[in-house]
Amino acid sequence: MGLFTDIYNTVAKFFRQQDEAVIGEESKSVATNRLKLVLMQDRTNLTPRVLEQMRGELVDLLSKYLEMDKELLELNFEQEGDQVALMLSIPVIRAKDEDEIEEALNKANSEESFEEEVSEETESKEESCEDTECSSAEECSEEEPKPKKKRSKKVSTPEGLEGNSEEHHEEENICENTEV
């Protein structure tokens, strides 16, 4: 069996059909993903930077209430006629219990007042980085909390996104990552 597949693969490689199929598939998915992102930008008039920021802040917000798989969080804008809808798909691992939620909310509140007092200076706050309080999916690993820049709080209001404006207000409370 193995021998046959070997021979088949060698022959296929020789004719480069298999190779081309693989390359074609790859570039197709590259194209699809690039296009999705670009269309999202076009439909909402948001720049990549703002989108990434928005994603991060949504993760912060939802992390207060849910434990979720941040890597798989999908943020999409779908257009139907004149209306743009924000589609958010998040694999939820579990809902947090009340205490955890309260803790997260308190933390966010204290940070908010803290932010008002001190503007940009880095302060040391000794708290372990629980995965529920990560402020960004990519940058926070559970083992080593990294010093992190404060996110800017302003999100420019997207034109043509009337339906979603409330979400932006709520996002103003930013759950910050542990700062060292």
Partner 1 sequence: MTGRVIVITSGKGGVGKTTTSANIGTALAKEGYKVVLIDTDLGLRNLDLLLGLENRIVYTIVDVIEERCKLRQALVKDKKNPNLQLLAAAQTRDKSAVNADQLREICEKLKEENDFVLVDCPAGIEQGFQNAVAGASEAIVVTTPEMSAIRDADRIVGLLGPKEEIESCKLIINRVRPSLIKSNEMMSVEDVLGILEIPLVGVIPEDTGIITSTNKGEPIVNDEEALAGKAYRNVAQRILGEEVPFLDLDEPKGFVAKIKNAFAKWKAKV
User: How far, in Å, are 53, 139, 142, 180 from residue 147 at the CA level?
Assistant: 18, 10, 13, 5
Min separation Cβ 58 and partner 1, Å: 19
Min separation Cβ 126 and partner 1, Å: 37
Sign of the dihedral through C-alpha 116, 117, 121, 124? negative
How would DSSP label each residue in 127-157? Answer: ----GGG-S-TTT--SS-PPP-PPPP---PP
Min separation Cβ 141 and partner 1, Å: 24
Q: Hunting for tokens 């800017």 — which residue is that?
A: 152
CB-based contact 103:74 (threshold 8 Å): no
CA–CA separation, 29 vs 18, rounded Å? 17
| Residue 45 lies near partner 1 (rule: CB under 8 A) | yes
- Of residues 112-171, which lie at the interface with partner 1 (CB under 8 A)? 159
| Residue 42 lies near partner 1 (rule: CB under 8 A) | yes
Q: Which is nearer to partner 1, 48 or 147 (CB)?
A: 48
Per DSSP bridges, beta strands 92-95 and 83-89 are unpaired
| Residue 28 lies near partner 1 (rule: CB under 8 A) | yes
Considering just the CA atoms, what is the radius of gyration of the chain in Å? Answer: 22
Min separation Cβ 52 and partner 1, Å: 9
Min separation Cβ 29 and partner 1, Å: 9
- Point out which residues pair with 88 in neighbouring strands: 75
Min separation Cβ 57 and partner 1, Å: 19
Among 11, 38, 72, 92, interactor with partner 1 by CB under 8 A: 38
Q: Residue type at 12?
A: A
CA–CA separation, 151 vs 160, rounded Å? 24
Among 34, 125, 146, 154, interactor with partner 1 by CB under 8 A: 34
Q: Which is nearer to partner 1, 46 or 129 (CB)?
A: 46
- Which residues in this chain contact partner 1 in the complex, by CB under 8 A? 23-24, 27-28, 30-31, 34, 37-38, 41-42, 45, 47-49, 159
